[in-house]
Amino acid sequence: MNELSKDELRLLIEKGKAPCLSIFMPTHKAGAEVQQNAIRLKNLLKEAEDRLVTGGSRAAEVEKLLEPVQALVKNNPFWRQQSNGLAIFLCPDFFRTYRLPGDFQPSVVLAERFNVKPLLPLFNTEGRFYVLVLSQKDVRLLECSRFSVRETRPEGIPSGIDEVLKYDVFEKQISTHSATANTPGSRGAMFHGHGSSTDLSKEYLMRFLQQIDRGLKAYLKDERSPLVFAGVDYIFSMYREANSYPNLLETAINGNPDQMSADDLHALVWPVVEPWFRKEQEEAAVRYRQSIGTGLASNHLEEIVAAAHHGRVGYLFVEVGREKWGTFNPQTDQVILHAGAKTGDEDLIDFAAIQTLGAGGKVYAIGRDAMPDREPVAALFRY
């Protein structure tokens, strides 16, 4: 199972070698219904097999091509690790599966290239973000995208407050305080911050937090991605004083994070960072409206297809579910649109989206009501 990312999407765009098979299906994550996943895939594979044979492929060739997907049908552990949707891409010498949050309609597409259009809405707010998981006992940094999370412990960031205190010149004093912790009437060396901390213990905690900030600053360097804090509220309050990273978000995940897995934290943090990424989409829509009539924006598909082919589209808005069939001649930049799909046609909205992504532009696949001017396609040009 692969993790979907922009690099993976670009790989799907570049690696397609006919015949390209794209399968999308909803999946059950738990319970007796999990058994339906394999049955559904088996039925979709039968549909793909029939289409390949009807298209002129020999039975032996079809069997060999579909073999990697057929193996999934009987792979019980595979079906126990699902999300809401599954996407499968297969062509000669290339095979990818993606566990995805989207709830897809079952579909089988055989074409000259992979059908990536159903994936595009998942990238509307895709981006990198970080989660600083911090308690006095443990420090973790999560590197995340919309679809993935990876735990890391960068060099220079202490693993806990004890690592900082053991090098402190007051180590002997701390040991003495700790030794009296079990003596009746003694409060020991406390760092809980609930009104019982001494000024000295707050000083130690601040040193701990400042060292974390220095380590993060060295690790993140010129990063501009959002950083979310996960930990108890009083430590977050102090960490904001120590922090020098410009994109620390004001909203934190409050509570003791020591028993929370990376996946659990990722699920909690995503709603916090999503508005950050959606803001860029909203700003692009505003710029589009301001640029209409200047030659830097268009909602005419013929113009957009040619511009996308030449790498001119910086931001592209496409209406989810809309198709516009026709042909494009890259030698003459001529676009011919048809009322319906004819032999040799392709969905030119899909073509424009793939060309935009391939040139490093951004594509937002959204509903009609969210389109900048209610047209099925809109582009903001780089030049």
On the question of pLDDT at 190 being above 60, the answer is no
- Helical ranges in 16-58 per DSSP H: 35-54
| Cβ proximity of 212 and 138 under 8 Å | no
Give per-residue pLDDT as tens, 309-318.
999 999 999 9
What's residue 169's pLDDT? 45
What's residue 184's pLDDT? 53
What's residue 168's pLDDT? 56
Q: Provide the strand spans (E) within 168-252.
A: 227-231
Taking only Cα atoms into account, the Rg of the chain, rounded to an integer number of angstroms, comes to 27
What's residue 299's pLDDT? 97
| Cβ proximity of 157 and 212 under 8 Å | yes
Burial grade of 286 (CB within 10 A; 0-12, 13-18, 19 or more): exposed
> Higher pLDDT residue, 218 or 224?
218
* Strand-pair category, 129-134 with 139-144: antiparallel
Rounded to two decimals, the pTM is: 0.66
In the Cβ-directed half-sphere of 178, how many Cα atoms lie within 13 Å? 10
| Cβ proximity of 179 and 110 under 8 Å | no
Q: Provide the strand spans (E) within 237-370.
A: 253-254, 297-298, 313-319, 325-329, 334-338, 346-347, 362-366
Q: Which residues touch 92 (CB under 8 Å, ≥6 apart)?
A: 17, 19, 65
Cα(first)–Cα(last) distance of the chain, in Å? 39
Maximum separation of any 2 CA atoms in the chain, in Å: 89
What are the respective helix, strand and coil percentages of the chain, to the nearest 5?
40, 20, 35
Give per-residue pLDDT as tens, 233-277.
999 999 999 999 999 999 999 999 998 999 999 999 999 999 998
Range of 52-56, 182-186, 252-256, 342-346 with top mean pLDDT: 252-256
At 173, list the tokens.
């004093």
Give per-residue pLDDT as tens, 73-112.
989 888 888 888 899 999 999 999 998 877 788 999 888 8
What's residue 200's pLDDT? 56
Q: What percent of the chain is modeled with pLDDT above 90?
A: 53
On the question of pLDDT at 219 being above 70, the answer is yes
| Cβ proximity of 228 and 222 under 8 Å | no
